[in-house]
A = this chain, B = another copy of it.
Amino acid sequence: MNNKTEVTAAALAIGDELLSGRTRDKNIGHLAQTLTSVGINLREVRIVADEQDEIVAAVNALRAKFDYLFTSGGIGPTHDDITADAVSKAFGVECIYDDDAMELLAAHYKSREMEFTDARQRMARMPNGSTHIDNPVSKAPGFNKENVYVMAGVPKVFEAMLNNVVPTLQTGQKLLSRSVPCRHGEGVIGTPLGLIQKENPDISIGSYPRFGDDGSFSTEIIVRGLDQADVDKAALEIEQMLANLN
């Protein structure tokens, strides 16, 4: 594919609960759809536990390799929320109580007549030199340091933060796609479909099998590319190939 205007991204979901199976991640799928819709190419995802060394290693690997890194989880008020410390360590900067975040949270809890506990103050911590990501759901902000966007793990908060982030991102050419339904299994179409892929190097053809409960097979074929004419040409070739099979 033509990568001249490609913008790439990675995601890092942080939390023991995702790895123990207690919680099924909902943020990765949402992030993937959102980024694709604006022309950012999500290239890799990792999930790691609430362990500082693991988070630091993943943050540094992914922020170096891709244009953007989006993280979810570990920015709450409890002892197992260590993402702010870990991201600070990854950047080699101090994890500070951010003045603006302290002010914002102090005012928030005062207005609700709640104590601004030590635990709540933890949510104002972020790497020195970060900017906030607003949190319209529960107030405590996420943060952005260079190309890394650190957001909450709770899906409602993650989505709200992402909504604030997306308009600020550099985006690339949108990936266009067309779906071609196919009543054959992959074993029937695999060889001719591979030939069409070979003849159309600027597009990417994905083939997704479906197994019916009755033992039947069918396939969804997805043609993806940056140029509408290329996508349409390949989709037409696939439709013709399928018509000849019937």
- Closest Cβ of chain B to A85, distance in Å, is 13
Stretch of A75-83, A92-100, A126-134 lying at the B interface: A75-83
Residues of A within 8 Å of B, CB-based: how many? Answer: 73
Quick one: copies of this chain in the complex? 2
- Is A189 in contact with B119, judged by CB distance below 8 angstroms? yes
Chain A, range 34-52, C-beta contacts under 8 Å to B: 34-37, 41-50
- Is A79 in contact with B211, judged by CB distance below 8 angstroms? no
Stretch of A16-24, A141-149, A165-173, A229-237 lying at the B interface: A16-24
CA distance A205 to B19 in the complex (A): 15
CA distance A158 to B234 in the complex (A): 31
Interface of A is mostly: mixed
- Is B23 in contact with A191, judged by CB distance below 8 angstroms? no
A193 at the interface (CB under 8 A from B): yes
Q: Which residues in A have some Cβ–Cβ distance to B below 8 Å?
A: 16-25, 28-37, 41-50, 54, 76-81, 109, 114, 117-120, 122-123, 137-138, 154, 156-157, 175, 177, 186-191, 193-194, 197-198, 204-211, 217, 222, 224
| Additional A-B contact list (6), CB under 8 Å, known A17-B222, A45-B46 | A20-B36, A21-B37, A44-B48, A79-B205, A79-B207, A154-B209
The 17 listed contacts between A and B (C-beta, < 8 Å) are A16-B204, A16-B224, A17-B206, A21-B31, A44-B47, A45-B46, A78-B193, A78-B194, A79-B207, A81-B207, A109-B187, A117-B187, A117-B190, A119-B187, A120-B187, A123-B187, A157-B211
